[in-house]
Amino acid sequence: MSWWLLLYSISILARYQPRKWSEALDVDKSGSAAALEYASDIVLDVIPHLVLEGLDQQPRLLAKPMAF
């Protein structure tokens, strides 16, 4: 559920506050830009596994361990 909450929050920010979202992604001005970029890279690996788990109703192991 944490992944879905994170994605929902980011999508709301990007949709309704596009100026703040683009400022948050600016690597030169924002301290959180690197963390947002890292999170978006991880999401591309994790979400397909979560969708597959939901469709199959069986837990799956991730292909590679997540490092935070």
Looking at residue 15, its pLDDT comes to 94
At 37-56, the pLDDT tens digits run 888 888 888 888 888 888 88
Percent of the chain with pLDDT over 90: 15
Model confidence, pTM: 0.61
Nearest to 25 by CA among 40, 16, 15, 36: 36
Nearest to 9 by CA among 43, 60, 34: 43
Alpha-carbon distances of 9 from 3, 15, 17, 63, rounded to whole Å: 10, 10, 11, 26
Q: Are 53 and 62 in contact (CB under 8 A)?
A: no
Give the domain ranges of the chain. Answer: 2-56
Mapping DSSP to helix (H, G, I), strand (E, B) and coil, where does residue 17 land? coil
